[in-house]
Structure 1
């Protein structure tokens, strides 16, 4: 199944949005009164949500973006710490006229989304944290991310990109050849190569520690929250997910067997209806309290 087949029959736009001076690649689709913004993980790109857009677009305005320094979005020369990502996200929301959004964040995207929800609750209608990072600093996992990504970026050998993508999946078949080729091309843009140290700055212990989602920050989140996790997540065990859900008031937890670090992709057939049900309830809650 290719990305084009996943989007077949769907009217969508792939465009570059000026987010306060940062050219930002965005896939936009759907309609409705409310927006859902999809945020990928470290060294990822908007294609991470190719299996989700068509299911959500009949009900919501959908925006899948390449985050700061990622994909085909601008890559300024400074370390990409969480406040920088948050500001870029807010700038994108402002640029496209979204006052409040449902945020769906995978890995790094969840880290960024949770940080925004804790600081600017008026911008967030609901929060989905899919294998979200940011609550722990495990040096072994940080080194695995840094080394596997750097090796794939510094070498032209597509096998290293394939290995980096397969690291995310329980079933290697979910790392489709199309995704491998998309990521390999992204990894070898000159500005991506030049800024890989900035993109991986959160894998440095001192930098990561000052950006962590600590329990007191998670406790400030007011938006309805869904935590989704895979039992075979290579970057975090189930207790990490349970602790995250416990620290966020009223959060719901969904665990998937035979699932790694991309639950929205690996378990799309189950995740999409789960997400839509959660979004509908969050929307009703927001309207009732308005």
Structure 2
């Protein structure tokens, strides 16, 4: 299935927003309460194309953005630490006139959204963390992310880009299309992206990661109703990590998807969309 097939029937705008001086690529669609979608490390807004139509149909204004140094968003020359990501997302909200939004953060995006919810509770209505990072520092996982990403960026061989995407999935044959590989390969081989790669991977360095981890105190301060979605076969975090996160965020709900890797919103889009829309309507808290 094509990205454009996924978006069939949806009126959307794909363009750039000046977010605090950072030229930020955003896909915007729908009207109503704002839902902001944040992708993972070395990812891009296409991670959510299977979710946008259902949310637009349910009456939400969707904003899927490329975070700093990712996708086709400007990559400033400084390490992309969590406070920088949060600052950028807040600047995007301000540029779009959004006072308060629902957030869906996958992997790195969940880490950013969690920190934003802890530090800026007035800007977050409901929070959905999809296989989020940022609660542990596992050297093996960090090395896997660093090595697989560097190999895909530094080689022209598109097979390495495919392997980087397949790493995320329980069933790569079903979930990794040729088009998705081509989109990511083109992003990875922009000169600006290659130049910014050390900044983008800085959270895979132990000192940086430990300093930026979501602390128990920060997680305890998250007051927004929170839904955690985790894949039972997540290659970047075992299920006990999800349960620990659930215990740390007061009143949160945990859903574990079987036969699912690191992209529940993509691999099991129909289930995720139904679950998330029920959550947004107040069906879970």
Task: Give the shorter-chain TM-score range.
Answer: over 0.9
The residue that corresponds to 1:288 in the other structure is: none
* Unaligned 5+ runs, structure 2: none
Name the TM-score, length of structure 1 as normaliser: 0.96
Task: Using the TM superposition, give the Cα deviation of residue 175 of structure 1 relative to its aligned residue in structure 2, in angstroms.
Answer: 1.2
For 2:60 and 2:72, how far apart are their aligned partners in 1?
Answer: 24
For 2:172 and 2:28, how far apart are their aligned partners in 1?
Answer: 28
The residue that corresponds to 2:14 in the other structure is: 14
Task: Using the TM superposition, give the Cα deviation of residue 194 of structure 1 relative to its aligned residue in structure 2, in angstroms.
Answer: 0.6
Task: Using the TM superposition, give the Cα deviation of residue 216 of structure 1 relative to its aligned residue in structure 2, in angstroms.
Answer: 1.3
- Secondary structure at the counterpart of residue 195 of structure 1: helix
For 1:255 and 1:140, how far apart are their aligned partners in 2?
Answer: 23
The residue that corresponds to 1:248 in the other structure is: 249
Deviations 1:21-63 (A, max 9, x none): 000000000011x100000000000000010000001211000
The residue that corresponds to 2:80 in the other structure is: 80
1:213-252 mapped onto 2 (5 Å cutoff): 213-252=214-253
- Secondary structure at the counterpart of residue 105 of structure 1: strand
Deviations 1:74-101 (A, max 9, x none): 0011100000000000000000000000
Q: Residue 128 in 1 paired to residue 121 in 2?
A: no
Task: Using the TM superposition, give the Cα deviation of residue 214 of structure 1 relative to its aligned residue in structure 2, in angstroms.
Answer: 1.5
The residue that corresponds to 2:107 in the other structure is: 107
For 2:253 and 2:150, how far apart are their aligned partners in 1?
Answer: 35
The residue that corresponds to 1:92 in the other structure is: 92
For 2:188 and 2:217, how far apart are their aligned partners in 1?
Answer: 36
For 2:4 and 2:120, how far apart are their aligned partners in 1?
Answer: 35
For 1:111 and 1:221, how far apart are their aligned partners in 2?
Answer: 12
The residue that corresponds to 1:41 in the other structure is: 40
- Secondary structure at the counterpart of residue 281 of structure 1: coil
What is the root-mean-square deviation of aligned Cα atoms in Å? 1.0
Task: Using the TM superposition, give the Cα deviation of residue 176 of structure 1 relative to its aligned residue in structure 2, in angstroms.
Answer: 1.1
1:162-173 mapped onto 2 (5 Å cutoff): 162-173=162-173
The residue that corresponds to 2:202 in the other structure is: 201
For 2:26 and 2:181, how far apart are their aligned partners in 1?
Answer: 20
For 1:218 and 1:175, how far apart are their aligned partners in 2?
Answer: 33
The residue that corresponds to 1:190 in the other structure is: 191
1:16-35 mapped onto 2 (5 Å cutoff): 16-32=16-32, 34-35=33-34
Task: Using the TM superposition, give the Cα deviation of residue 172 of structure 1 relative to its aligned residue in structure 2, in angstroms.
Answer: 0.8
Task: Using the TM superposition, give the Cα deviation of residue 269 of structure 1 relative to its aligned residue in structure 2, in angstroms.
Answer: 1.1
* Unaligned 5+ runs, structure 1: 286-290
Count of aligned residue pairs for this structure pair: 283
For 1:192 and 1:203, how far apart are their aligned partners in 2?
Answer: 17
Task: Using the TM superposition, give the Cα deviation of residue 246 of structure 1 relative to its aligned residue in structure 2, in angstroms.
Answer: 0.7
Task: Using the TM superposition, give the Cα deviation of residue 181 of structure 1 relative to its aligned residue in structure 2, in angstroms.
Answer: 0.3
For 1:280 and 1:99, how far apart are their aligned partners in 2?
Answer: 19
Deviations 1:233-289 (A, max 9, x none): 00000000011011000000000000000000001011101000000117x99xxxx
For 1:99 and 1:242, how far apart are their aligned partners in 2?
Answer: 31
Deviations 1:175-223 (A, max 9, x none): 1111100000000000000110000000000000000012111000000
Name the TM-score, length of structure 2 as normaliser: 0.98
Task: Using the TM superposition, give the Cα deviation of residue 71 of structure 1 relative to its aligned residue in structure 2, in angstroms.
Answer: 0.1
- Secondary structure at the counterpart of residue 161 of structure 2: helix
For 2:98 and 2:56, how far apart are their aligned partners in 1?
Answer: 16
- Secondary structure at the counterpart of residue 272 of structure 1: helix
After the TM superposition, which segments of 4 or more aligned residues of structure 1 sit over 6 Å from their partners?
Answer: none
- Secondary structure at the counterpart of residue 136 of structure 1: coil
